[in-house]
Structure 1
Amino acid sequence: MEIRQLLALGTTMLAMASAPAFAQDSREPYVRVAEIEIDPGQLESYKAAVNEQIEAAVRLEPGVLALYAVADKENPARILVFEMYADVEAYRAHLETDHFKKYKFTTQDMVKSLKLRDAVPIRLGAKPR
């Protein structure tokens, strides 16, 4: 790679890293990772609620590109949710849906902690079904 290409790449990466998540180009996918700690005694109820929410969001919202919820193998009450939206506007619209509001209300006493992390896609790939 030539020095000019490296400089351009470095400048682009710096600009992306320093920009706030909501200021990103609205044509780029908006990606978040949620780290959720669930009360172990309510884990099965939480799984039912997150399954219902993901099914509805993927089916009803064109801006929801992917939602994946997985449990830590060693600590099943630690849930990671990978969220990808068409853009930040699709994410904002998702937060206003009835099914998301129902999920938040239903799970509020199940969630012991929640960390939301904005992410920048490096490379996304999936096989078609």
Structure 2
Amino acid sequence: MKIFSYFMGFSALILLVISMSAMISNTKVFNPQKVRLSKLVIDSAQLVSYKELLKEEIEASMAIEPGVLTLYAVFEKNRPTHLTILEMYATEEAYASHVKTPHFLKYKDATLKMVKELELIDTEPLIPGLKIK
């Protein structure tokens, strides 16, 4: 009976290890190769139109482009014409492809005169593999 108990315990441990291995191998590693902050100032008279165009561009990029990992735009509460976009791309090539897509070019052309200032800041993530929930 003692041997049977050890066998059952050992079998349970083996099943647990196999299950954990399967879960780990199915987990995607979130490790962007290009992370950038885009800081913009928008003409206040065109802010509503700008937001619509930006929303359309972000939604298309996230839906269509697998190399675009994150495009997250935030507007400052006290300065609503100031925004920052957190951009994460799987690779440099994914970024290069992104800026050539029809939806990005449409956004860029349509907003050219709306953008008063643009600063592109390439960054180094503190924890590159950290997944945004």
Q: How many residues align?
A: 101
> What CA RMSD, in Å, does the superposition of the two structures yield over aligned residues?
1.2
1:19 alignment partner in structure 2:
none
Change (3 A) 1:46 1:28: closer
Are 2:92 and 1:88 equivalent residues in the alignment?
Answer: yes
Distance 1:28 1:73 in 2: 29
Tell me how far apart the structure 2 counterparts of residues 70 and 64 of structure 1 sit (CA, whole Å). Answer: 17
Which residue does 1:106 correspond to in 2?
Answer: 110
Q: Which residue of 2 aligns with 1:126?
A: 132
Kindly report structure 1 stretches of 4+ aligned residues shifted beyond 6 Å.
none
CA shift digits 1:54-110 (9 cap, x unpaired): 000000001000000100111010010000000111000001100000000010010
User: What residue ranges of structure 2 are gaps of 5+ in the alignment?
Assistant: 1-30
Q: Within 5 Å, give how 1:4-23 maps onto structure 2.
A: none
Residue 52, structure 1, aligned to residue 53, structure 2: no
* TM value normalised by structure 1: 0.75
Residues 71, 28 of structure 1: alpha-carbon distance in 2 compared, 3 angstrom cutoff: closer
| TM-score, normalisation: structure 2 | 0.73
Structure 1 residue runs of 5 or longer lacking an equivalent are 1-26
